[in-house]
Amino acid sequence: MQAVQVSTELIDKYGLAGPRYTSYPSALHFADDFQDDQFLQDLKAQKDPISVYIHLPFCRTMCWFCGCNKIVTRKQDKADRYLDYLAKEMLLWRAQLTDVKVGQIHFGGGTPNFLNPQQIDRLNALLRCYLPLTPDVEISVELSPDVLTEDQVWAFSRLGAKRASIGIQDTSPIVQEAVNRPQPMECNINAVRWLREAGFTSINVDLIYGLPHQDRESFKQTIQDVLELEPDRFALFNYAHVPWFKPTQKVFASDIFPNPIAKLDIFQDSRETLEAAGYTFIGLDHFAKHEDELAKAWNNGKLQRDFQGYSVTESKAILGIGLSSVSQSPKAYRQNHKELEDYEAALDAGQLPLAKGLALTVDDGIRRTVINRLMCQLKLDFSDISDELGIDFAEYFDTSLVDMQELVTDGFVEMTDTGIAVTELGRFFLRNIAMQFDAYRERQAGRCSQTL
Ligand code: SF4
């Protein structure tokens, strides 16, 4: 794959704020007065096993770049208390899941391996006691190698986890110091060895480009270092600089970031190296070995996208449990309280800890399908999607298609009477292309991270 040339004019024109489209509408539009009825109705109607996301929010230190919902603490007993409340929440959900099974569980954070092995074993017992799991439930976990121990890996293995995603971000000591995340390669090497020995069958590595002091040469070294670990997948995320939303990011001086051209160069270098090493470039920012099921899903048009990014999971409903967790169903999103005090108070009152949400309109549902299809398949067949959604696509999106002409002229999209397809150049501007179908784009301007 030859490097694509991206001009400064295009970067200036399209370097806008825009959603990552892990959901549509984005969480910015969730409302405080949302009632749970629609979500509960959708949940109970599920015929196939659902997915569950469980948020474990604690971290020992703060990484300055972080955009997650987390609680930084050294007090291990906070996790004991949190598990008490997770148990209360699971018990409330169990009452709603009388005819529904759980086929997948993902633990995210925060740092799930903030929990010590005894706490992970207790979490295992809670799951088995309170959630209606399928016998072959698939379990995955996000891990931070800098604080990971071998005993924790075995505890997650006892819990049934077979997939892990490890956060590395960048291996340069200069970058690590700037973002307050020292993580010698030894930690990463140990993490991967322990996971393989414990029988984990899939390891993903998270990297971030666009961090302070990164440049092409330093990030080439990061990619080489991580390739030595032979992960099954990579996620190569564009750093989201949103200091108005995540104030810890204000510690960064504005002149220490790579500029948009340097970021695109870093991404293209990485893509070239990873493709040469046997990884398939997937969607916006993922890579997987050719034989990995994520790469197969991409090639078969079965790729999915949800709050955790790209996946092969086909669940129509994802139930979020724990602080700040988001749930999604065919017609609604809901989010738990983000503050621990509010989360606990709701559960002490015997209520689900609902903070806000959104019941999708028919229009939201249509646009969600269209945007998701673009993000996962990079193309739209007007006839197929018209049949699927019960609309005349060209008529429904007449304004979007007129606006799309400019993207055709700029070389991002090829459009015919039957459909549109994103070009290689357009993959760098995928979020901008999806924005053409976003009815909320004016309202969310300036509240999202930069697309480039
Ligand atoms: S360990 Fe992960 S969740 Fe915690 S502060 Fe760092 S990046 Fe954020």
Q: Give the domain CATH number at 270.
A: 3.80.30.20
Contact 233, 289 (CB under 8 A): yes
Co-location of 296 and 369 in the same domain: no
356 occurs within a structural domain: no
Co-location of 167 and 294 in the same domain: yes
Instruction: Give the position, in ligand 1's atom list, of the atom nearest the Cα of 110.
Output: 3
Q: What is the pLDDT of residues 437-448, one digit of tens each?
A: 999 987 766 666
Report how far Cα 252 is from the mean position of its chain's Cα atoms: 24
Instruction: Give the position, in ligand 1's atom list, of the atom nearest the Cα of 65.
Output: 7
For the ranges 85-89, 161-165, 229-233, 426-430, which has the lowest average pLDDT?
Answer: 426-430
**What sign for the dihedral angle of Cα 127, 128, 134, 139?**
positive
211 occurs within a structural domain: yes
User: Given 266, 297, 321, which residue is the final one in a domain?
Assistant: 321
Co-location of 99 and 206 in the same domain: yes
**pLDDT band, residue 307 (cuts 50/70/90):** confident
The mean pLDDT value for 23-50 works out to: 93
Instruction: Give the position, in ligand 1's atom list, of the atom nearest the Cα of 146.
Output: 1
Tell if the pTM clears 0.85, that is, is over it: yes
**pLDDT band, residue 380 (cuts 50/70/90):** very high
72 occurs within a structural domain: yes
Instruction: Give the position, in ligand 1's atom list, of the atom nearest the Cα of 144.
Output: 1
CA distance linking residue 90 with residue 52, whole number of Å: 11
Q: What is the pLDDT of residues 190-210, one digit of tens each?
A: 999 999 999 999 999 999 999
Residue of 386 and 244 predicted with greater confidence: 386
Total of domains in the chain = 2
Residue of 378 and 20 predicted with greater confidence: 378
pLDDT of 308: 81
140 occurs within a structural domain: yes
Q: Residue 306 above 90 pLDDT?
A: no
Report the separation in Å between the CA atom of 67 and the middle of ligand 1, taken as the mean of its atom positions. 8
Residues in the chain: 452
pLDDT of 5: 80
The mean pLDDT value for 100-117 works out to: 97
Co-location of 180 and 110 in the same domain: yes
The mean pLDDT value for 339-363 works out to: 97
Q: What is the pLDDT of residues 81-90, one digit of tens each?
A: 999 999 999 9
**pLDDT band, residue 6 (cuts 50/70/90):** confident
Co-location of 302 and 368 in the same domain: no
CATH number for the domain including 441? 1.10.10.920
Q: What is the pLDDT of residues 396-417, one digit of tens each?
A: 999 999 999 999 999 999 999 9
pLDDT of 211: 96
Rg (CA), the chain: 22
Co-location of 107 and 173 in the same domain: yes
pLDDT of 121: 98
114 occurs within a structural domain: yes
Instruction: Give the position, in ligand 1's atom list, of the atom nearest the Cα of 167.
Output: 2
The residue whose C-alpha atom lies closest to atom 6 belonging to ligand 1 is 63
Q: Which residue among 60, 62, 64, 68 is best mutated to probe the pocket of ligand 1, counting the most ligand atoms within 8 A of its Cβ? A: 68
Q: Which residue among 59, 72, 114 is best mutated to probe the pocket of ligand 1, counting the most ligand atoms within 8 A of its Cβ? A: 59
Report the separation in Å between the CA atom of 404 and the middle of ligand 1, taken as the mean of its atom positions. 38
Co-location of 165 and 100 in the same domain: yes
DSSP state of 148: -
Co-location of 41 and 128 in the same domain: yes
**Which residues' Cβ are closer than 6 Å to ligand 1?**
59, 62-63, 66, 68, 70, 109-111, 144, 167
CA distance linking residue 215 with residue 207, whole number of Å: 14
Q: Which residue among 70, 74, 166 is best mutated to probe the pocket of ligand 1, counting the most ligand atoms within 8 A of its Cβ? A: 70
51 occurs within a structural domain: yes
The residue whose C-alpha atom lies closest to atom 3 belonging to ligand 1 is 110
Token pair 């700029």 in the structure block, residue: 410
pLDDT of 383: 96
Residue of 291 and 7 predicted with greater confidence: 291
What does 412-447 look like in DSSP terms, one character per residue? Answer: SEEE-SSEEEE-TTGGGGHHHHHHTT-TTHHHHTTS
Co-location of 231 and 282 in the same domain: yes
Token pair 């139930």 in the structure block, residue: 319
Co-location of 123 and 188 in the same domain: yes
**pLDDT band, residue 286 (cuts 50/70/90):** very high
Co-location of 84 and 218 in the same domain: yes
Beta bridge partners of 450: 17
Q: Residue 280 above 70 pLDDT?
A: yes
Report the separation in Å between the CA atom of 278 and the middle of ligand 1, taken as the mean of its atom positions. 29
The residue whose C-alpha atom lies closest to atom 8 belonging to ligand 1 is 66
Beta bridge partners of 281: 287
The mean pLDDT value for 58-72 works out to: 95
User: Given 296, 321, 346, which residue is the final one in a domain?
Assistant: 321
291 occurs within a structural domain: yes
DSSP state of 300: T
Report the separation in Å between the CA atom of 66 and the middle of ligand 1, taken as the mean of its atom positions. 6
Report the separation in Å between the CA atom of 33 and the middle of ligand 1, taken as the mean of its atom positions. 30
Q: What is the pLDDT of residues 214-260, one digit of tens each?
A: 999 999 999 999 999 999 999 999 998 888 888 899 989 888 999 98
Distances from the Cα of 311 to the Cαs of 110, 125, 246, in angstroms? 20, 27, 27
pLDDT of 413: 96
User: What does pLDDT average to over the chain?
Assistant: 94
pLDDT of 447: 65
pLDDT of 445: 62
User: Given 321, 349, 372, which residue is the final one in a domain?
Assistant: 321
pLDDT of 444: 64
Enclosing domain of residue 430 = 363-452
Are β-strands 161-169 and 202-209 bridged in parallel, bridged antiparallel, or unpaired? parallel
Report the separation in Å between the CA atom of 144 and the middle of ligand 1, taken as the mean of its atom positions. 8
Q: Residue 349 above 90 pLDDT?
A: yes
186 occurs within a structural domain: yes
Instruction: Give the position, in ligand 1's atom list, of the atom nearest the Cα of 62.
Output: 5
CB count within 10 Å of CB 3 equals: 12
Co-location of 309 and 417 in the same domain: no
Which ranges of 95-247 does DSSP label H, i.e. alpha helix? 117-130, 150-159, 173-179, 185-197, 216-227
